[in-house]
Amino acid sequence: MRKVIMGIVMALGMAATGMAQTTSTTTTAAAASNLTFQVTSQAVMAGIGGKYEAGTDAIGTLTLSPHWSVRSDNVVLPGPGIGLNTAGAEYSATIPKSEFSYNLNAGVGMVSSPAPMHFAANVGGTLSFSPSGEPKLSITIITAQYFHGAVADGATQTSNWWTIGTGLELNLSRIF
């Protein structure tokens, strides 16, 4: 079963890579300049079966168009020894006539913890504010993710858990 799931995850990753190559080679130079890669790390609080754990979520996004990106979530909760890796898609947009933006995302992958490795899936979103309207500095008002994947935190075992976070994002590529 693990081999089947890993095969699906790898196929999704290769499909995403293939889309990125196609996008960069078959579009105009102006559109291709929108192809960017970004890595973000944020502190998160996770709720697992009534327990709360601090951790981090390292997020990688490859922008394919003004609204769509390929996304990777890598959550690490060192206290209970939980690691989650998912790959999926992200839709981003700016709220008209405001300095607010949002994204919605979903992915599939694997989660490991003291329980055996299992299939995992996540859905979530983020609401951000850019004071200048240009995302040189972005304030993440809230980011929330829901995860489905069996994890264990001590004697507590559950298949449904969540993370919530907030923070600042400084986009250096937009400054220089």
**Average confidence score pLDDT of the chain:** 78
Rounded CA separation 117/2 (Å)? 8
In this prediction, residue 60 carries a pLDDT of 93
By the 10 Å C-beta count (0-12 exposed, 13-18 middle, 19+ buried), 116 is classed as exposed
Q: Decide: 87 and 11 in contact? Cβ < 8 Å.
A: no
| pLDDT over 80 (residue 66) | yes
| pLDDT over 50 (residue 114) | yes
Q: Look-up: residue for tokens 């693990």? A: 2
By the 10 Å C-beta count (0-12 exposed, 13-18 middle, 19+ buried), 84 is classed as buried
The domain made up of 2-175 has a fold known as Porin (2.40.160)
30 membership: H or E segment, kind and range: helix 29-32
pTM (predicted TM-score): 0.73
Look at 39 and 105; give whichever has higher pLDDT.
105
In this prediction, residue 168 carries a pLDDT of 76
C-alpha 62 chain-centroid distance: 11
The secondary structure of the chain in percent helix, strand, coil, rounded to multiples of 5, reads: 20, 60, 20
Tokens representing residue 130 in the block: 């850019």
- Residue type present at position 149: G
Q: How confident is the model at residue 5 (pLDDT cuts 50, 70, 90)?
A: very low
| pLDDT over 50 (residue 29) | no
Look at 81 and 91; give whichever has higher pLDDT.
91
Q: Decide: 43 and 88 in contact? Cβ < 8 Å.
A: no
Rounded CA separation 47/171 (Å)? 29
Rounded CA separation 124/167 (Å)? 16
Dihedrals phi, psi of 83, to nearest 5 degrees: -135, 135
Q: How confident is the model at residue 172 (pLDDT cuts 50, 70, 90)?
A: low
User: CA-based angle 119:43:55, to the nearest 5?
Assistant: 50
Average pLDDT rounded to a whole number, residues 44-57: 90
